[in-house]
Structure 1
Amino acid sequence: MTLRTVIVRSTGAVLACVMALAGPWTAGADPIDDFLNPPQDPALAAPTPLGEPWFVPPPGFENSSPGTVLNTRSVEVGPLITPVRSTQILFRTTDSKDRPVAAATTVIVPTAPWTRPGARPVVAYNMAIDSLGNTCAPSWTLPRGIAPEIAAVQLFLAKNYAVVVTDHQGPRQAYAAGRMAGHAVLDALRAMVNLPSLGLPAESPIAMTGYSGGAIASGWAAQLAPVYAPEVNLVGTAFGGAPIDYRILLGSMNGNAASTLFLAAAMGVAREYPEMFQLMNANGLRLAQIAKDMCVYLLAPGGLVAPIPVQALSDVPNVDRTPIAEEIIRQTRMGGDLTPTTPVFIYHGQQEFWIPKQGAETLYDEWCANGARVRLEEYLGEHLVVAISGLPGSHQWIDDRLAGIPAPAGCSSFGR
């Protein structure tokens, strides 16, 4: 028996066990038949709808401009120390293939007035959602007091900044689909300006930030902004631990303890690029159904139990080198022919093993070669360590940009 046969059979056994616990399933579906004979139907791998009419865009929304406000509601967000008013906005945005979709964002504004010169600054804080289910998105977790990164939001609110937390994975929960994420973040900021009652006009200086999965959204928004949303008043973007290039991650996260998080990212990307489903074998299609509503706290530990390589979910030889895979890897790679025109601060761990620093360094080199203003700082430690140790430098950099202090010209680095 070959090693591949063992992996495939083991994968099937693992999926069968998980199937017994998985759900919920769509009403009217035949989950047993779909599991035994899974069709190449992306709809079976879509997240279960929340059943809240508020998230349903009105008819004809597709004809509105990106950033158009489609719905609003007041919400309570917490736990927070700073007194705030919070508003959720459903807005029109654009997916990875330039199709109109609706997404949600939460705008959190301190009740204390902004007394310094100019309009109140805004931080677009992009959480590392890293999940596949609708109940994992910030618009759902923030009002329920279970958002994992609420402490990071509080740090910015304590400075009297407004904070915008967007469901940057879009309506399909397309984890790791950078174009979708970048569009959503930028259109959320447009929607913010388009709702005057928030008191955040177009003149408000805006900084974007995020770590890990949140860095995907931040970096993509920065490089898409010059063409997609040039009117958004960005003054800078700071992000760390960014997964830049999935070709690199195929070598660092595939078939090991990080494999289920990597597979979840592949499933998220497939929701934006459904041509990927034709590359999946039965086990790949089963996994897409089973994991469709899972949040990161269920996805991340799975690799410790079942370090499934992506190749086990396809019967196509060298599946990652097929024309479909090559094009999607190219489409989801940060950098290339896209370059931000506002300053950027990148930080990364020197001992990163799941998300090697090679990606951040290559991105820095490309952006600098194209004339961007970039500061790269590399710190001792791996992903979780640098998530904390990188905060002082990145937050000071953000404070300076929001205060109107210009970023130094050109590029510079520390620790490389």
Structure 2
Amino acid sequence: MTAPRPVEPEDATAEPWVVEEWSEGPVTPPERDPFYTAPDGWETVACGTVLRTRPVRLALFGRLRQRIDAWQLLFRTRDLENRPHVSVTTVLLPADSGRGSAGGRPLLSYQCAIDAVSGRSFPSYALRWHAHARGTVPQFEFLLALHAVRLGWTVTIPDHEGAEGHWGAPSEPGYCTLDAVRATLSFERAASPADTPVALWGYSGGGLASSWAAEGVAEHAPELNVVGAVLGSPVGDPASAFLRLNGTPYAALPILVVAGLRRTYPEFDRLLHRYVTAEGLAVLTSVERMTTMAAIVRLRGYDFSRHTTLPLTELVALPEMVAIFDEIRPGGTAPEFPMLVVQATHDQIIAVDDVDGQVRRYRDAGASVEYLRDRTSEHITLLPLSVPLSLAWLADRVAGRPPGPGTTTTVFSIALQRRSVAGYGSMASTLLRAVLRRPIRSHTRRRPRTR
């Protein structure tokens, strides 16, 4: 494992910044949208500083405009090598509530399963009204964020891969997520970060990003009042997933990670040029323009070893590869707050053994982890089925209720849990309101509902 990067100090010497307030503007992909381009002088401000803002209109699948208040914030963060970077987060508030109205509401940072490097897959683009983002996962997850708003949360949805699409990178998604939380609290004029309870939640690639955020709080953003995190199917071991998914219907997923790691690690890119043929490099370049679903369809059954000069098992066993894959494996740092991990035992994408290992590493490091395994679900169905229980668990942390024992429980179906059954009717109501384009308003003005 590589040596830890130096921590960037956050102190009073950071330069002040006058926030630029933009109008919404046209809906264009991030690489062509000037909103995503950092203004001059931004490098000297502290991580989490809001550089510019704009109101935005959001829609289900880019077409069904939602009646909800939303803003986007360009903010300063950092990369794995402690270099300044920028990213964007999308902030959701109940309809007609207005900026600065989040007093009394806790903050939920929801990390989408971006799972691609194309800017079209970033939630800040994919969730906008008239966005052309067919095949992006965040468009499917948007309903979950709307539901959280109805249950009393302010929701922030960061582009946790940063502006350059560093999918698969370690630590960076955590820095970006935590700086998005800082930016959101600043935008919402919170008196102090400690005044607002913060929760982290994500599934699949979003669960991996949430893992890095949970691990990074003590080092990167200790002032935040993070009360808990829900990690849904959080990958566990990217190297294992790379070998297991190669040649399967989901072969594109590890290829997309490789495309992201090329951008993060120059030494990784050099290894690829040494051991991957020109045809294989062309495949990696082609997926940089694809959304997640488009890549899955295009590369169904693709065997990467057809385009390598070494068998894959030997390629990933190279010392340089081992060092990188060790670094991108989560679970090395124990968060100081409780976590809930949910995983399907028959997941066709993320192996339950890999998530078992991540949970074990957290517990060995001293973390409090409740681990719920589902015998009936698979990767796609577990996310919607786990929504009521996940949000209720986070609401309990906000309310100060003690977490359950840090045990592993395997159930027939998470859908049959009491809190799940009680929450599906409310989810159906949110779906109906979204489809009918009714205002998305909070059930409660102060705290999210726990039942």
1:209, CA displacement in angstroms? Answer: 0.6
Q: Distance in 1 between matches of 2:243 and 2:303?
A: 13
The alpha-carbon distance between structure 1 residues 125 and 49, as it changes in their structure 2 partners (threshold 3 A), is: closer
Residues 199 and 50 of structure 1: CA distance in aligned 2, closer, same or farther (over 3 Å): farther
- Letter of the aligned partner of 1:349 in structure 2? A
**What RMSD, in angstroms, separates the aligned Cα atoms of the two structures?**
2.4
Partner AA of 2:202 in structure 1: G
Question: Which residue pairs with 1:56 in the alignment?
Answer: 37
Runs (4+) of structure 1 exceeding 6 A deviation are: none
Note if 1:245 corresponds to 2:233.
Answer: no
Q: 1:379, 1:415 within 8 Å by CA — same for their partners in 2?
A: yes
Give the residue type in structure 2 aligned to 1:312. Answer: R
Matched, 1:184 2:179: no
Confirm whether residue 128 of structure 1 aligns to residue 113 of structure 2: yes
Spell out, residue by residue over 1:164-190, the C-alpha distance to the aligned partner (whole angstroms, 9 max, x if none).
001011111122223221111000001
Return the offset for 1:97: 2.5
The answer for the alignment partner of 1:34 in structure 2 is: none
**1:413 is the counterpart of 2:405:** no
Match of 2:394? 398
- 1:371 corresponds in structure 2 to 366
Instruction: Tell me how far 1:195 sits from its aligned partner.
Output: 2.1
Residue matched to 2:421: none
Partners of 1:100 and 1:285 in 2: CA distance: 29
- TM-score, scaled to structure 2: 0.75
| CA displacement at 1:201 relative to structure 2 | 5.6
| Residue in 2 that maps onto 1:89 | 73
Aligned to 2:171, what secondary structure does the other structure show?
Answer: helix
Q: 2:306 aligns with which of 297, 305, 312?
A: 312
Deviations 1:20-52 (A, max 9, x none): xxxxxxxxxxxxxxxxxxxxxxxxxxxx96222
- What's the CA shift for 1:324? 2.0
Amino acid of the structure 2 residue aligned with 1:321 = A
Question: Does the residue aligned with 1:301 lie in a helix, a strand or coil?
Answer: helix
Q: Name the % identity.
A: 29
TM-aligned CA distance change 1:240 to 1:145, over 3 Å? farther
Q: 5+ residue gaps in structure 1? A: 1-47
Aligned 8 A contact 1:119 1:205 in 2:
no
| Partners of 2:118 and 2:400 in 1: CA distance | 39
Q: Please say if 1:352 is aligned against 2:347.
A: yes
Task: State how 1:260-409 maps to structure 2 within 5 Å.
Answer: 260-280=252-272, 281=276, 282-304=278-300, 306-309=301-304, 311-316=305-310, 318-336=314-332, 338-380=333-375, 381-408=377-404
The unaligned stretches of length 5 or more in structure 2 are 1-28, 132-138, 412-451
Aligned length: 363
Q: 2:330, 2:359 → 1: CA distance?
A: 11
Deviation at 1:75, TM superposition (A): 0.9
Contact preservation (8 Å) 2:65, 2:129: no
Shift of 1:368: 1.4
How many Å separate the matches in 1 of 2:35 and 2:97?
30
Asked whether the 8 Å contact 2:57–2:66 carries over to 1, the reply is no
Question: 2:70 matched to 1:70?
Answer: no
User: Which amino acid in the other structure matches residue 89 of structure 1?
Assistant: L
